[in-house]
Amino acid sequence: MSEQRQPVRVGISCGDLNGIGIEVVLKCFEDPRMLADTTPVLYCSAKTVSQHRKLLKLDEVQFHRVNDAREALPRKFNLVNLWEDDLELELGKPSSPLAAFAIKSLEAAAQDLASGKVDVLVTAPIDKNAMQQAGFAYPGHTEFLQHMAGGDGEVLMLLVGEGLRVGCVTGHIPLKDVSAAITTERIMAKARILHQSLLRDFGVIEPRIALLGLNPHAGDGGALGSEDKERIAPAARRLNEEGIKAVGPYAADGFFGNGTYKYFDGVLAMYHDQGLAPFKALNFGHGVNFTAGLPIVRTSPDHGTGLDIAGQGIADEGSFRAAVWLAADILQQRERYKLIMANPLQPQKREKERKEG
């Protein structure tokens, strides 16, 4: 890819400045192989990143400071300098004053993504409570980006790992509100996004989607709750009538415990922890959070701010690295999908010509 294509311009928001976000970014691009096919653009401050480098003994990681992403050098680690403030970092401690700078970074990166200065967005973890105290009006990245994209369309938080893609019908809401939020129509809306994402973003030809049950044992025929029988099962039937291969509801414990998930291209959980707990048990450290249903490509690592280990130099950059590669892969897969949909015979013609020499 590096000889045939321009490197993917990867916009990176810095996340919580007292967490492990900048650490995993620095460690990721300490490896020069990461720069063969990507041009990272971190939205932060040269002073702040230099503080992290010194505290973490990562002084050998060099960056190219720019004032605008258009000045970024290809295949170099670039930093858009957003502020000159001398910030007092206390790694490992929540801070709403510092969260204001995380907001500044996210907004700048998202604006540059919208204007085409970068190709994809990778977001470092944020402290949601500190962000909201600092004036952030959204529960998380997903909702912010949904608003940036217009606010009306549905999106889907999708966790992607080795052989597993898990989306959630409901996201960052209290558990007590989940049942009321689970409707047949909402399940179908999320399943449609998952189906389209599997086609467009992952190149799956005929996606198979599993729907998890809401209650233990998927309601056990109604003995443990009616939602599975009255809302989830009808959603599966109606989706199949639309041509979307959806099966369920499955009892979540057995579904993951006996490996049934391996037979599906995507899994739709009913609520956050139902999907993310087994996903992270199977893929933690290498999984990626991808926002499906957006016109742009956004990924993030599958972990949080890591305040308990911040500043110790022990944060694993594996998930962040995977987020960078997945963002680049999805961007290129979307280009292939667009070509195929524009002229479905053209790729077949090229393949025939290649074989004929």
CA-to-CA distance for 319 and 25, rounded, in angstroms? Answer: 10
CA-to-CA distance for 118 and 168, rounded, in angstroms? Answer: 28
Residue 352 has pLDDT above 60, yes or no: no
Residues 167-194: tens digit of each pLDDT: 999 988 899 999 999 999 999 999 999 9
Cis peptide before 249 (omega within 30 of 0): yes
Domains present along the chain, CATH in parentheses: 1-151+295-310 (3.40.718.10), 156-293 (3.40.718.10)
SS3 173: coil
Query: Per DSSP, what are the bridge partners of residue 210?
Result: 247, 267
Cα dihedral across residues 220, 223, 226, 230: positive or negative: positive
pLDDT of residue 3: 46
pLDDT of residue 119: 97
pLDDT of residue 346: 56
Over 215-261, what HEC string results? Answer: CHHHHHHHCCCCHHHHHHHHHHHHHHHCCCEEEEEECHHHHHHCCHH
**How many other C-beta atoms lie within 10 A of the C-beta of residue 189?**
17
**pLDDT (average), residues 137-148:** 86
Q: Residue 259 to residues 152, 252, 254, 263, 278: CA-CA distances in angstroms?
A: 36, 11, 8, 8, 11
Averaged pLDDT score across all residues of the chain: 92
HSE on the CB side for 215, CA within 13 Å?
17
**In which band, very low, low, confident or very high, does the pLDDT at 36 lie, cut at 50, 70 and 90?**
very high
Whether 201 contacts 330, CB under 8 Å:
yes
